[in-house]
Amino acid sequence: MNIVLVGMQWGDEGKGKVIDILSKRADYIVRYQGGNNAGHTVVVGDKEYIFHLIPSGILHPGKICCIGNGVVIDPEVLKRELADLRKNNIDFSGRFKISTLAHVIMPYHKNLDQLREAKRKNKIGTTGRGIGPCYADKINRCGIRMIDLLNPGVFKDKLKDNLKEKNEIFKKVYGHPGFSFQKIYRQYLDYGKLFSKFVCDTAVLLNKACDDKSDILLEGAQGTFLDIDFGTYPFVTSSSATSGGACIGTGISPVKIDKVVGVCKAYTTRVGEGPFPTEFAEGFGNFMRDRGNEFGATTGRPRRCGWFDAVIARQSVMLNGITELAIMKMDVLDGLDKVKICIAYKYKGRVIKEFPHDFEVLSKAVPIYKEMAGWPNQDNNPSSFKQLHPNARAYLLELQKLLGANITMVSIGSARKSTIFI
Ligand code: IMO
Ligand code: MG
């Protein structure tokens, strides 16, 4: 069974925990887009692991973990993440693979990301990790791929060509001194040597795995509304975070995907700029941020918080082909008098039920809420749907009805055991 897992909102839905759970039944776990803008948190016992690049499935002994061609790799971050695994005695020998075709984040990508943000009037609030500029070079056909780092001659030509153009842009547009060829050349050839044993044609590897009837879990990063096409453009990331990205980013054909699982929080959060119709007012927003510990796993920035938005979540179900839902951080809503679900928007007296594409409409849309009774703190540590407070159950059933997909997992805490399977 090949499963794609996607975020249904603006990222940080709790994908790391669900991946960790689904990894048990998978033979291969694969990242297919994004880069170290992602931060996937997994809690095992009293230890918390945060992964930015390596699939979180690496914690499960014997599983093969791949970074697919659709991912952009910052080699320094990868080096650090591998060192951390070694430090934690997680043996990954022979079971970690990197696609030859994955693009590499270069120092100039990171600088450009930050310089562009600083220059912009309408900031995106990127993570500053060089993600956008690296993908731009990929599409611009001047990117550098993992395989290039293994061939000094090829790498030299590509880097020279890049620096010739980029150094001029850096100087003239940004007043930045530019980059030295020798320094980057040597440093990145070293990365190449360090990673060479992991680099392979992961598309061939994964398609063989399909032929052998192995189970593959495709680990999405970011979320549907950060998708470059379907998200709240331009306040998005630069990759295809929807389920279609799993095929492009791995070389596994769409006919080999069996199921798409959608992950969403029981409420909504967003980091960075951009429209967010159900965002809480400041006071309640601060209260909920503290309750849910909503601070970014990658940049530490406070996350913006709001009520569950069924308009965007329904759109997610449609765009991704989601048939199963994992509802995360349900416990954060415990103890509230009332909970609200946005079922439509209102704009200039008009009721809007579909996600609007016009920026002004989306920015000024006023949510129409369905209000429901809250539920007390659930100290009984519920382990089944039946044990949840009736009002919590009613809330989940309402989400299920609005989204038209089945809830198969509800998370009520960060630990593996704080999960209800339905
Ligand atoms: P995970 O996988 C939340 C957001 C950034 C910014 C926008 C563009 O942990 O859910 P970028 O650096 O990608 O060009 O920034 O996208 N963003 C995320 N927000 N979770 C993520 O990943 C994100 N990755 C990018 O905050 O608004
Ligand atoms: Mg994140």
3-state secondary structure of 88: coil
DSSP letter assigned to residue 362: H
Residue 299: is its pLDDT beyond 90? no
CB 70 within 8 A of CB 248: yes
What φ, ψ does residue 373 adopt, rounded to 5°? -70, 140
Q: What is the pLDDT of residue 343?
A: 98
Nearest to 71 by CA among 245, 294, 325, 230: 245
Show Cβ contacts of residue 73 under 8 Å, excluding neighbours closer than 6 positions.
35, 53, 67, 98, 102, 103, 104, 105, 146
Confidence band, pLDDT 50/70/90 cuts, at residue 365: very high
Q: Which of 127, 232, 269 to mutate to test the pocket of ligand 1 (most atoms within 8 A of CB)?
A: 127
* Ligand 1, CB cutoff 6 Å, lining residues: 7, 10-12, 37-40, 124-127, 129, 131-132, 221-223, 226, 235, 237-238, 271-272, 297
Q: Which atom of ligand 1 is nearest to the CA of 239?
A: 13
Taking the centre of ligand 1 as the mean of its atom positions, its distance from the CA of residue 223, in whole angstroms, is: 8
Tell me the pLDDT of the chain averaged across its residues: 97
With both helix axes pointing from N to C terminus, report the angle between 181-195 and 75-87 in degrees, rounded to the nearest 10: 40
User: Residue 167: in which H helix or E strand, if any?
Assistant: helix 152-174
Confidence band, pLDDT 50/70/90 cuts, at residue 191: very high
Residue 349: is its pLDDT beyond 90? yes
Which amino acid, one-letter code, is at 178?
Answer: G
Structure tokens at 295: 């601070």
Which amino acid, one-letter code, is at 149?
Answer: L
Please compute the mean of the pLDDT values over residues 243-250 and round it to a whole number.
Answer: 98
Confidence band, pLDDT 50/70/90 cuts, at residue 128: very high
Q: Residue 401 and residue 395: Cα distance in Å, rounded? A: 10
Confidence band, pLDDT 50/70/90 cuts, at residue 146: very high
Q: How many CB atoms lie within 10 A of CB 197?
A: 12
CB 2 within 8 A of CB 260: no
Q: Residue 7 and residue 316: Cα distance in Å, rounded? A: 9
Residues 62-121 have pLDDT tens digits of: 999 999 999 999 999 999 999 999 999 999 999 999 999 999 999 999 999 999 999 999
CATH number listed for the domain at residues 103-194: 1.10.300.10
User: Residue 327: in which H helix or E strand, if any?
Assistant: strand 324-328
User: Residue 347: in which H helix or E strand, if any?
Assistant: strand 338-347
Residue 322: is its pLDDT beyond 90? yes
What φ, ψ does residue 365 adopt, rounded to 5°? -60, 135
* Fold (CATH) for 264-421: Adenylosuccinate Synthetase; Chain A, domain 3 (3.90.170)
Q: How much is the pTM?
A: 0.97
Establish whether domains 103-194 and 264-421 are of one fold. Answer: no
Q: Which atom of ligand 1 is nearest to the CA of 132?
A: 14
Structure tokens at 371: 């209000």
Please compute the mean of the pLDDT values over residues 259-287 and round it to a whole number.
Answer: 97
Q: Which atom of ligand 1 is nearest to the CA of 299?
A: 26
Q: What is the pLDDT of residue 66?
A: 98
Ligand nearest to the CA of 53: 1
Q: Which atom of ligand 1 is nearest to the CA of 272?
A: 27
Whose tokens are 């006023």? That residue is: 366
CATH number listed for the domain at residues 2-99+198-261: 3.40.440.10
DSSP letter assigned to residue 240: -
User: Quick check: is 12 catalytic?
Assistant: yes
Please compute the mean of the pLDDT values over residues 176-194 and round it to a whole number.
Answer: 98
Confidence band, pLDDT 50/70/90 cuts, at residue 378: confident
Question: Which residue's alpha carbon is at the smallest distance from atom 13 of ligand 1?
Answer: 237
User: Quick check: is 40 catalytic?
Assistant: yes
Q: What is the pLDDT of residue 408?
A: 98
The catalytic residue among 20, 27, 40, 389 is 40
Ligand nearest to the CA of 223: 1
Q: What is the pLDDT of residue 297?
A: 84
Q: What is the pLDDT of residue 402?
A: 98
Percent of the chain scored above 70 by pLDDT?
100
* Domain positions in the chain: 2-99+198-261, 103-194, 264-421
Q: What is the pLDDT of residue 67?
A: 98
CB 134 within 8 A of CB 108: no
Taking the centre of ligand 2 as the mean of its atom positions, its distance from the CA of residue 120, in whole angstroms, is: 23
Confidence band, pLDDT 50/70/90 cuts, at residue 298: confident
Instruction: Give the torsion through C-alpha atoms of 57, 59, 63, 69, to 10 deg.
Output: 40
Q: Residue 17 and residue 55: Cα distance in Å, rounded? A: 12
Q: How many CB atoms lie within 10 A of CB 413?
A: 15
